[in-house]
Amino acid sequence: MSTATNFFERQDDARRNTSWLVALFAVAVVLVILALSVPLFLNGRVQEGLLVGGVVGAVVLLASGYRLLQLRGGGRVVAEGLGGRLLPASTRDPAERRLLNVVEEMALASGVPAPPVYVMDDEMQINAFAAGLRPEDAVLGFTEGCMRRLPRDELQGVVAHEFSHIKHGDMRLNIRLMGLIFGLMALVYLGWTIIRIGFHSAAMARKKEDAGGLALVLPGLALVVVGGLGAFFGSLLKAMVSRQREYLADASAVQYTRNPAGIANALRRLGDLGSSVKHKNAAESSHMFFGRGVSSLFATHPPIQKRVKAIDPGGQWTSGKLPPEPEIQLESRGVQSVPGTGAAGFVGHAAVAAAQATTVRVQDAVGDAADDLLGAVASVFAVLALEDEDPPDVPLRGLADRGLQHIAEEASRLLPRISRLRVDDRLPFLEHALPVMAGLSESQYHRIREAILAMIQRDGGVTLLEAATGRMLIGRLDRRFRGHADPKRNRTSAQLRGPINVLLRGLAEAGHPGDPAAQSSLSQEQSVRLGFGFEVNGPAPRVRELDEALARVARLEPEAAARLGELAVLFVEADGQVRAEERELLALVGSALDLSFKPALDSGAG
């Protein structure tokens, strides 16, 4: 069996085991409710049994919902709560620069946008974490020891591991399980409250020779025992789920880096140097760490020996001398190396290579224009000004009218550099600039958001790049600043056949403009992937029509959305090159479907 097949099978095993454990967790919650209501049913007290079951279920749900609301703070809140310091993109510290470069490399390899990076200063043991509910509000955190003491290939393995947690939704899953455990513990708190009330009532009633207060003690005791057992086994199951996700993340790290030795040696070094985190909040966040943040009976991470053995069943990296700790040289900004080709069957190498070429071109053209907050905001307006029908200085004057004179001046200063970008590189540049804008305050963001949307709509027409910018803005930043709920994703491909046809017609026209024969051939080849036929011939849809179709397609169920995303990439890559219009359409699709993907081909535009 090939190495690639091994790791993909291990990923499937970890996902399957997680599904079983989450199902068992749900069963445990139901058993708690039944344990408190069934005795009443058996005594013929059906109405009381239903009432008790309903009340217990309501307590668990309400307490869980309350805890989930408390935990909905973005990854930034978690990182700062652990003493993390945000790394600026313009840093000149060699270790910090290397870490940011590796994060960017693994973002390309995994197809996940590069999140903000935090460092826990003075934490010299080896550890890291990913935090946040969604990729849009995710952050990565690293101990100073992890940043400075690991060789580059080992650091790549650790960073890739954390990207897996973001990509596979592990953070959201953990938070949901934490909420349910809190709901079960609420039964214990309620039980103790009832017991105290019972004893207090009994003491007050003793003078009246009335023992009625003691009648509350038994129900209270039942809540404590059953709720406590439920929380106990729930915590065990949560730890088991976390351990399976760690195996999945280790296997994914090999997939992203194509270098099993990197993640394996990082684990061995972690075992030698330790992974403890001294911060007072480390215990409650231990499930998020790369290594065990604290020692615990309910271990959220498998033993290091088992993790290394899962990566390398033959034991190639389980013994021998580790490479020495590195002397870190200052790297230039951006992607420094594409992971090696490794075993056949690993995905993403061509996509990473193409993205690396784009990154180098963008860096050569604009340098550090979007590395700081003001530069990132001004760069977005400069790109949009170049998309406008009027000369760039005309839309930029509108910023001054909105009280954003300093941004207009910076955008004007950056225009010569931004105009050097190839047309097809403007979108990748914006993808780098938009996440930097997460550093805005909430009030600043609302003003900037309104100004961006106004500039997009200023000339009465919307280009694909403008539409993609608007969707990325809403998709990546609105959730952080405005708390928008995700749309319900419960529609099948057949139910959304119309808007899917509009989308695919747009992709076919972008890839084969004015060539109905090629478009028809493409549609026939790919129809089977969605389970129904579709016809892409016809007039090319307008940008607004595409945007409206994507708003509806955003409700596709996750599996169908993933298939549509794969199909969109196939449409784009069918003729062997990626045009700027196709890349912009892919960005629209990705923002609408909440997917990240990179075409495996470099742009064909000159």
* H-helix segments, 168-313: 170-206, 217-257, 260-273, 304-311
> 3-class SS at 141?
strand
Question: Range with the lowest mean pLDDT among 251-260, 307-316, 533-542?
Answer: 533-542
Strand partners, 85: 119
Which helix (DSSP H) or strand (DSSP E) does residue 380 occupy?
A: helix 373-387
pLDDT for residue 521:
64
Inter-residue contact 471 to 553 (CB < 8 Å): no
pLDDT for residue 346:
36
Whether residues 367 and 414 share a domain: the answer is yes
Cα–Cα distance between 530 and 509 in angstroms, integer? 19
Strand partners, 118: 86, 141
Cα–Cα distance between 270 and 45 in angstroms, integer? 58
pLDDT for residue 320:
53
Question: Range with the lowest mean pLDDT among 292-296, 466-470, 596-600?
Answer: 292-296
Backbone angles phi, psi at 91, to 5 degrees: -55, 145
pLDDT category at 469 given cuts 50, 70, 90 is confident
Cα–Cα distance between 534 and 507 in angstroms, integer? 13
Whether residues 121 and 267 share a domain: the answer is yes
pLDDT for residue 168:
82
pLDDT for residue 141:
93
pLDDT digits (tens, 9 = 90+) for 138-149: 889 999 999 999
Residue range 338-352: mean pLDDT, rounded:
44
Cα–Cα distance between 297 and 317 in angstroms, integer? 28
Question: Range with the lowest mean pLDDT among 56-60, 222-226, 281-285, 402-406?
Answer: 281-285
488 lies in some domain: no
Greatest mean pLDDT range, 57-61, 192-196, 377-381: 377-381
Strand partners, 140: 117, 130
More confident: 19 or 402: 402
pLDDT for residue 315:
59
Whether residues 47 and 113 share a domain: the answer is no
pLDDT for residue 17:
59
Whether residues 362 and 509 share a domain: the answer is no
Q: Which domain holds residue 426?
A: 349-482
- Please report, rounded to a whole number, the percentage of residues in the chain having pLDDT higher than 70: 72
pLDDT at 546 over 80: yes
Residue range 235-250: mean pLDDT, rounded:
80
pLDDT category at 519 given cuts 50, 70, 90 is low
| DSSP assigned state of 245 | H
Q: End of a domain among 311, 326, 359?
A: 311
> 3-class SS at 6?
helix
188 lies in some domain: yes
pLDDT for residue 145:
92
Average pLDDT, the chain: 75
Sheet holding 84-86, edge to edge: 84-86, 117-120, 139-143, 128-131
For 500, the token pair is 């899917």
Cα–Cα distance between 160 and 266 in angstroms, integer? 12
pLDDT for residue 289:
67
Whether residues 165 and 80 share a domain: the answer is yes
Whether residues 456 and 359 share a domain: the answer is yes
Cα–Cα distance between 554 and 543 in angstroms, integer? 16
Residue range 298-325: mean pLDDT, rounded:
71
Whether residues 386 and 458 share a domain: the answer is yes
Q: How far is C-alpha 147 from the chain's CA centre?
A: 22
Whether residues 444 and 544 share a domain: the answer is no
CATH number at residue 93: 3.30.2010.10
Greatest mean pLDDT range, 62-66, 210-214, 413-417, 565-569: 413-417
| DSSP assigned state of 281 | T
Q: End of a domain among 216, 240, 264?
A: 240
Residue 208 CB contacts under 8 Å (≥ 6 apart), including other chains = none
pLDDT for residue 340:
44
Whether residues 67 and 184 share a domain: the answer is yes
Residue range 205-228: mean pLDDT, rounded:
64
pLDDT at 588 over 60: yes
pLDDT category at 99 given cuts 50, 70, 90 is very high
pLDDT digits (tens, 9 = 90+) for 35-55: 767 776 777 777 777 777 777
Cα–Cα distance between 583 and 85 in angstroms, integer? 34
Inter-residue contact 471 to 588 (CB < 8 Å): yes
Cα–Cα distance between 584 and 217 in angstroms, integer? 66
Greatest mean pLDDT range, 168-177, 198-207, 416-425: 416-425
Whether residues 11 and 66 share a domain: the answer is yes
pLDDT category at 5 given cuts 50, 70, 90 is very low
* H-helix segments, 402-494: 405-418, 426-436, 442-457, 464-472, 479-482
More confident: 522 or 64: 64
pTM: 0.65
Q: How many domains does the chain have?
A: 4
pLDDT for residue 406:
92
| DSSP assigned state of 389 | S
More confident: 311 or 521: 311
For 199, the token pair is 């004893």
294 lies in some domain: yes
566 lies in some domain: yes
Euclidean distance between the first and the last CA atom of the chain, given in angstroms as a whole number: 43
Cα–Cα distance between 333 and 363 in angstroms, integer? 8
195 lies in some domain: yes
Return the residue matching tokens 């999140």.
115
| DSSP assigned state of 274 | -
Residue range 590-600: mean pLDDT, rounded:
67
Whether residues 370 and 465 share a domain: the answer is yes
**Burial level of 27, CB count in 10 A (0-12/13-18/19+)?**
exposed
447 lies in some domain: yes
More confident: 306 or 224: 306
pLDDT at 342 over 50: no
Whether residues 140 and 251 share a domain: the answer is yes
Q: Smallest Cα–Cα separation from 475: which of 510, 512, 437, 511?
A: 437
Q: End of a domain among 258, 292, 311?
A: 311
Inter-residue contact 418 to 386 (CB < 8 Å): yes
For 545, the token pair is 């029509």
Determine the Cα angle at 556 with ends 508 and 250, to 5°.
95
Q: Smallest Cα–Cα separation from 172: which of 83, 106, 75, 284?
A: 75
Active centre residues (catalytic): 162
379 lies in some domain: yes
392 lies in some domain: yes
